Chains A and B, each alone.
Chain A
Amino acid sequence: MAAEKIRVLVAKPGLDGHDRGAKVVARALRDAGFEVIYTGIRQTPQMIAEAALQEDVDVVGLSILSGAHMTLCPKVVDLLRAQGQDDVLVVVGGIVPEADIVQLKAKGIAAVFGPGTSTQAIGDFIREHAR
C-alpha cells in the first residue's frame, strides 16, 4: 500500500505578483515530503477553491502581501466549506497585522505565518493539523 501523501495547494490570491515567498514555501514543503500543487499568481478565490476541489487537497496555503487578506482569505474558506470541503486546513503566509490575525482565525484560517517564520515551522504545523 502506498503511503497517503499530504497534498497542499499553494496559491497567491489577488493582484500582487510577488511570488518569491510562495515559491520558497512550495519548495520547502516539497523537501518536507508533501505533494505541493503550485498554481501561481493572480488567482481569484473561486479559482483557488476550484483547484482545491479538483486536486482534493488537505491543505490550502495562501500567500498574500497586498493587504487584501481580510477580503480574499475568508472568501476562500467560505467557498471551500460551501462545496463540502469542511476538513481542508487553510493557512496564510504574508504580511498581516496582529489585529487582523485574530479576525482571520475567527473566520476559519488555521494559522497565519508572518515574516521570519521558519519553513520548518510551517511544515510541522501542517503535518500536525492536516486531516
Chain B
Amino acid sequence: MNKVEGQRSLAVLADGVRTGNRLALARAITAVENETENAHALLATLYSQTGRAHIIGVTGAPGTGKSTLVTGLVQAYRHAGLTVAVVAIDPTSPFTGGAILGDRVRMRALSGDAGVFVRSMATRGSLGGLSKTTGDVVILLDAAGFERIIVETVGVGQAEVAIASTAHTTLVVEAPGLGDEVQAIKAGILEIADILVVNKADRPGADRTIKALEMMLELETGGPRVLRHHGQLIQPETPLPTATPDRWRVTVLKTVATSNDGVTELRDRIEAHRAWLHRSGEWSIREAVRVAQTLENILRAELSRRILAALPQAGMNAWIQPVLRREIDPYTAAHQLLNPK
C-alpha cells in the first residue's frame, strides 16, 4: 500500500472523522462522494455516532442570496457558541460532467474558524436540488461532531423538494420581484418551508412579496404538513399525544443578508422550530420518513443495477432502432427486454 492509500484507508479516515481531524474528514467526504469501495464501510463504522446534529436546509431560486444568508447564519450560530458545517451544492453540466462550485465566493468571512467546515458538492446528474450522496456527507459531518449542519441546495425552480426529506428545518428563500400571488399559491417548493425568508428585503417590492406569501399562509387549511412516504403517514414508535394543538406556524421573515439584518432573528426562529420538533414528537416522524426514503433510494439503486446487469449484453441497444423506426413503442420494447421469450 502506498502512502496516499494508507492515509485514505478506512481505519485512518474513520478515526480521523471521530477525532476532528479536518483532512481526514475532507478525504472521507471524497470517498463517500465518489462511492469508492470504502464508502459503505466508512458509513457503517460511523453511523452509530450520528443523529446528534440539527440539519437545516436552505433552498430557493438562483440569485436570491442563499450563500450570503448561509454565511450570516453560520456567523450567528458561532456567536451562540455552536459549531457549524455547510454543504453547498451547485449543478453539474449535463454535457461535460464539469461544474463551477461558486458558493465559497460569498463565504470568505468564514475562513480561519476551526468551528466551521464548508464543503462544495456538484449534483453529478441528480435532480431534486441535491446530489445523490449529500445525505451520506451529512452523516460524516454529524459523526465529526458538528452541532448544526446547513445544506444549501442548488438554485431551484418550483419542484425540487428533495431537501425537505434531508433536513429537519427547511428554509425557503425568496427575493422581491420574482412572482405574484399565483406563484405563491402554487404547489411545490413553497409547501416544504418551515420558515419562509424574504431576503434582499431592502429592495423595492419586498412588501408586496411578503404580503403575497402571508396571504398564502393565511389560506393554510390545516392539512398534514409532514412529508408523506407514498401517501402513508409514517407513525413514530411512541404514539403522538393527539390532544396537543401544538402546531408549527410557518412565518415570513425579512432579511438583508449583505448587512446581516434579520439574520439573528432567523437563527432564533430555526432554534424555535428545533425545539418544537422535539416537543411535539414531529422529530421522530421526520426521522422515520428520512430513514424510509434513504432505504428506498438504496434499494432502488441496487435493484436497478442488478436488473441492468442481468440484461443480455447489448440487449437494450437491439431495441433502439426498432423504436426509432416506429415499429415498436418503448413500453413494449422494455416489457420484452424484461420478459424474454
Contacts and interface: CB of A to CB of B under 8 A. Distances in A.
Interface of A: 1-5, 7, 26-27, 29-40, 42-43, 46-47, 50-51, 53-56, 83-87, 131
Contacts of A51: 104, 111, 118
Contacts of A87: 4
A38 B104 contact: yes
B23 interface: yes
Contacts of B99: 30, 35-36
Nearest to B132: A2
B118 A54 contact: yes
A37 B98 contact: no
Interface in B80-139: 92-93, 96-102, 104-105, 108, 111-112, 117-120, 122, 124, 132
A55 B124 contact: no
Contact of A56 (B26, B36, B93, B108): B26
A46 B101 contact: no
Interface stretch (B27-35, B271-279, B288-296): B27-35
B7 interface: yes
A31 B94 CA distance: 11
A51 B102 CA distance: 12
B108 A47 contact: yes
A89 B337 CA distance: 47
A-B CB proximity, top 6 nearest = A30-B98, A56-B26, A40-B105, A47-B111, A56-B30, A33-B98
Contact of A55 (B93, B97, B102, B119): B119
Contact of B96 (A30, A39, A50): A30
A31 B101 contact: no
B98 A35 contact: yes
Contacts of A33: 96-98
A30 B29 CA distance: 21
9 contacts: A1-B34, A5-B97, A31-B96, A33-B96, A39-B104, A47-B108, A51-B104, A56-B23, A86-B3
A4 to B, nearest CB: 5
A50 B178 CA distance: 36
Nearest to A19: B105
Nearest to A85: B23
B112 A47 contact: yes
A55 B112 contact: no
A54 B34 contact: no
Given A1-B35, A56-B26, A29 B118 contact: no
A26 to B, nearest CB: 6
Contact of A5 (B22, B119, B122): B122
Contact of A32 (B23, B35, B98, B117): B98
Nearest to A34: B98
Nearest to A1: B35
Contacts of B124: 2, 5
B108 A37 contact: no
A32 B117 CA distance: 28
A57 to B, nearest CB: 9
B17 to A, nearest CB: 13
A56 B27 CA distance: 6
Nearest to A58: B30
Contact of B98 (A31, A39, A40, A54): A31
A29 B98 contact: yes
B34 A5 contact: yes
Given A2-B34, A43-B108, A56-B29, A37 B101 contact: yes
A50 B112 contact: yes
Given A30-B98, A32-B96, A50 B111 contact: yes
Contacts of B30: 7, 56
A38 B102 contact: yes
Given A30-B100, A40-B105, 10 more contacts: A1-B34, A7-B30, A27-B100, A35-B122, A36-B98, A39-B104, A39-B108, A54-B118, A55-B26, A83-B23
